[in-house]
Structure 1
Amino acid sequence: MQIALHSIPIRALVNGYQNSRDTGNIGYGGLLNIRPPYQREFRYDTQQKQAVIHTILHGFPLNTMYWSEADGGGYEMIDGQQRTLSICEFMQHEFHIALPNRSILYYDTLTDQEKEQFLSYELTVYFCQGTDREKLDWFRVINIAGAKLLDQELRNAVYAGPFVSDARRYFSKRSCPAYGMGGSYMAGNPLEQAYLETVLKWAARKEGVTIDDYMARHQHDPNANLLWGYYSQIITWVQTTFPHYRKEMKGLDWGAMFDEFGGKTLDTTQLEQRVHDLMEDDEIMKKGGIYRYVLSGDLRDLSFRTFDTRQKRQAYERQEGICPRCGKHFRLEEMEADHITPWVEGGTTVPENCQMLCKACNRLKGVR
């Protein structure tokens, strides 16, 4: 990997700047692709963008930027996108700043001296030349404004192509189609690739591979229509199977539930009544687990209340340290709390329903 240090004045960076659907984000006289396909969505808020401009006007150093020398000439931005776009947007009056004892200031309301100072400010840029893997190794370790690169952002870089570009259109934009259709069921922020990573995880698991393997298989697909179709099936199934929405439905592994139960005929009225009853059960701590439980009947999908330290000590003293199953004596820390009458038989987490079993006996009871 060859790396060369350069100082680029802002006037050169913004020369020929364009930001359009057709041309993308271009700067540096048309030679710099500011937002190549693998770049993250723009995340800076107004305060962060203002901080970039204040740093420049005060003559303080900005963090180093990295540009990759692209095949066929020109450059692609590896790191520095959000600072670069902040600079360009300020010059296009998309936000303002405030200086001490001054009114609200846009670029055009700066003094001639301030404009010259701004345009002459030199950015520290490393030009990087090497293999794709070497460049992406840089991309992996670089932080932008303290925001560490996310795993899915790295995957987007490694497997850049028509599939990723189209998938990001569906899953990675503000108010993207995936958000409009199923945002109530998805966790995380689509701009931070949370939706895309989730649906890729679902699709990859269905094919029995990792997300990386799935993206490698589909890297050169002309679009992400199959992925979008799969997501649409899942969300439609959720909405028809559980038509009464509850906040506990957000962020569940709906892909796994659809793959396992989506082909079955289900009584949605009965399911809703069971969900309703279980939601009112104080013994169940992890309410989101109810949805898989009503489909699977597996108690491991639920999380129940546990006995507190005082209740455990009381049961231990009552038993005089003797495990009621094997009849041996144990120290308190060698034992675990157990419900005498299980939840499925109406047992609750109260002191009189607590017994202390040795760890071995508790494990044996659990697998029966």
Structure 2
Amino acid sequence: MKIELKRIRVRDLVESYEDNDELGVRAYDGRLDVRPPYQREFVYKDKQRDAVIATLRRDFPLNVMYWAVLDDADADGVEFEIIDGQQRTISICQYVEGDFSIEIDGHQMAFHNLQDDQQQQILDYELMVYLCEGTDSEKLDWFKTINIAGEKLTDQELRNAVYHGPWVASAKKYFSKTGCPAYAISSDYVTGSPIRQELLETAIKWINGGKVDEYMRDHQHDQNAVELWTHFQGVIAWIEKTFTQKRAKMKSVKWGPLYAKFHDTDYDPVKFEERVSALMGDVTVENKSGIYEFLLAGEQDTKLLTVRIFSEKTKVAAYEQQTKKAKAAGVSNCPMCAGGHQSKATVIYEFAEMDADHVEAWSKGGSSDLANCQMLCIHHNRSKGNG
């Protein structure tokens, strides 16, 4: 890769700056593409952004930037694209445009609030820019290795760089902007930041069984991401039809795999809501997010709920109550032994020889408290089932 150092003044960088959803971000009199297809969204926090402007105001050196030189200017006159320095470039342009202010001597000062000499000092600041000429692969390698310390690329940001093209550009319109269409319909059901590409990653996992790279490989040169967007909308619509009440625990559910497995099954949303409400209120159910899969799968696997077992204190109390009554009656302290016609009908078991059991099965609504606890000998408890 051929590299040449160039000094560029801030006044030239911010010339004709524009941030447009359709065209992207342009600067340097329209000659610089600030956000090429492989670049991340703007992710600087206020403190980082303000630090860039403070660096300029003090005439301290700002980290060097890298621009790729395009082989030929495109139809819009773009001659360069940023490999590294997007976050700093946008911070500078936004400040000069008046999009935010910084604290100076205890006051919030936008660019237009500065004295003329202060403005000129910023505009005359010289940025150190390396102009790089090379193949697309070489530019991509640079992009992946010289990013700003402390803002490590996410896996999906790297995938967007590797598989950049019309499909990624289209997908980002649906999934990668603050307030994007996907976030607007899914914020109650999924976690993750659109601008860090986590929402896009989730959508691809949903449509392709978790195989993100494989899907992006196969669709890299598609002209749009309508298939992905349509599938994502379908999953959200199914969630809302099946579970009519929104709850915070829904964000922890892996909806994509559940949709793939159960969306062709008919469910009664009214009955589901009654069961969800009951299980949410059951203090013995520790994994509330597991309720949804538990119901979809027919209430068979209680492991999904991490049902709280009887506490040691409850088991000891139940054992003492049962043993006292059993000794007084001359029968076994295991109710199933005492009620049977066995040689053990009068046996008094030690605490370690017994297990706690639900009188009314938990799966049928029984609670895990003392009133619903009975101690059975290990043999009978393990042969009883459905406790």
Q: Which amino acid aligns with 2:163?
A: Y
**2: CA distance, partners of 1:271 / 1:262:** 15
**2: CA distance, partners of 1:111 / 1:247:** 50
Q: 1:204 aligns with which of 208, 212, 223?
A: 208
Q: Which amino acid aligns with 1:146?
A: G
Q: Who is 1:302 aligned against?
A: 305
Q: 1:129 aligns with which of 130, 133, 139?
A: 133
Aligned to 1:248, the other structure's residue is in SS state helix
Matched, 1:69 2:69: yes
- Which string of whole-angstrom CA distances, capped at 9 and with x for unpartnered residues, describes residues 86-140 of structure 1? 1112211222233227x54332443343233212322233333333333323323
**2: CA distance, partners of 1:339 / 1:129:** 74
- Which string of whole-angstrom CA distances, capped at 9 and with x for unpartnered residues, describes residues 172-220 of structure 1? 1122111222221121222222211101111121xxx721110111112
Aligned to 2:195, the other structure's residue is in SS state helix
Q: Which amino acid aligns with 1:248?
A: K
Q: 1:116 to 1:55 in 2, by over 3 A?
A: same
Q: Which amino acid aligns with 2:93?
A: C
Matched, 1:236 2:241: no
User: Aligned ranges for residues 120-199 of structure 1 at < 5 Å?
Assistant: 120-144=124-148, 146-199=150-203
Indicate the RMSD between aligned Cα atoms, in angstroms.
Answer: 3.3
**2: CA distance, partners of 1:115 / 1:127:** 27
Displacement after TM superposition at 1:72 (Å): 2.2
Matched, 1:40 2:63: no
**2: CA distance, partners of 1:189 / 1:68:** 28
Q: Which amino acid aligns with 1:83?
A: R
Q: 1:285 to 1:88 in 2, by over 3 A?
A: same
Q: Who is 2:92 aligned against?
A: 87
**2: CA distance, partners of 1:22 / 1:199:** 22
Q: Who is 1:52 aligned against?
A: 52
- Which string of whole-angstrom CA distances, capped at 9 and with x for unpartnered residues, describes residues 117-166 of structure 1? 21232223333333333332332344436221111111112222222112
Note if contact 2:310-2:368 (Cα within 8 Å) is conserved in structure 1.
no
Q: 1:121 to 1:265 in 2, by over 3 A?
A: same
**2: CA distance, partners of 1:212 / 1:152:** 9
Aligned to 1:72, the other structure's residue is in SS state coil
**2: CA distance, partners of 1:265 / 1:58:** 66
Aligned to 1:276, the other structure's residue is in SS state helix
Displacement after TM superposition at 1:32 (Å): 1.5
Displacement after TM superposition at 1:291 (Å): 0.3
Q: Who is 2:274 aligned against?
A: 273
| Residue segments in structure 2 that go unaligned for 5+ positions in a row | 74-78, 317-354, 379-387
Q: Which amino acid aligns with 1:182?
A: S
| Residue segments in structure 1 that go unaligned for 5+ positions in a row | 315-337, 358-368
Q: Who is 1:333 aligned against?
A: none
Q: 1:198 to 1:114 in 2, by over 3 A?
A: same
**2: CA distance, partners of 1:201 / 1:227:** 10
**1: CA distance, partners of 2:289 / 2:89:** 42
Q: Which amino acid aligns with 2:27?
A: G
Q: 1:264 to 1:15 in 2, by over 3 A?
A: same
Matched, 1:288 2:289: yes
Aligned to 1:66, the other structure's residue is in SS state strand
**2: CA distance, partners of 1:306 / 1:117:** 70
**1: CA distance, partners of 2:201 / 2:356:** 39
**1: CA distance, partners of 2:270 / 2:115:** 69
**Worse overlay, 266-275 or 256-265:** 266-275
Aligned to 2:208, the other structure's residue is in SS state helix
**2: CA distance, partners of 1:184 / 1:22:** 28
Aligned to 2:222, the other structure's residue is in SS state coil
**2: CA distance, partners of 1:177 / 1:295:** 28
Q: Which amino acid aligns with 1:236?
A: A
Aligned to 1:192, the other structure's residue is in SS state coil
Displacement after TM superposition at 1:22 (Å): 5.4
Q: Percent identity?
A: 44
User: Aligned ranges for residues 350-361 of structure 1 at < 5 Å?
Assistant: none
Q: Who is 1:98 aligned against?
A: 103
Displacement after TM superposition at 1:2 (Å): 4.2
Note if contact 2:176-2:199 (Cα within 8 Å) is conserved in structure 1.
yes
User: Looking at CA atoms only, which structure, 1 or 2, has the larger radius of gyration?
Assistant: 2
Note if contact 1:289-1:301 (Cα within 8 Å) is conserved in structure 2.
yes
Q: 1:110 to 1:267 in 2, by over 3 A?
A: closer
Q: 1:268 to 1:18 in 2, by over 3 A?
A: closer
TM-score normalised according to structure 1 size: 0.78
Q: 1:18 to 1:265 in 2, by over 3 A?
A: closer
Q: 1:272 to 1:47 in 2, by over 3 A?
A: same
Q: Who is 1:325 aligned against?
A: none
Q: 1:349 to 1:122 in 2, by over 3 A?
A: farther
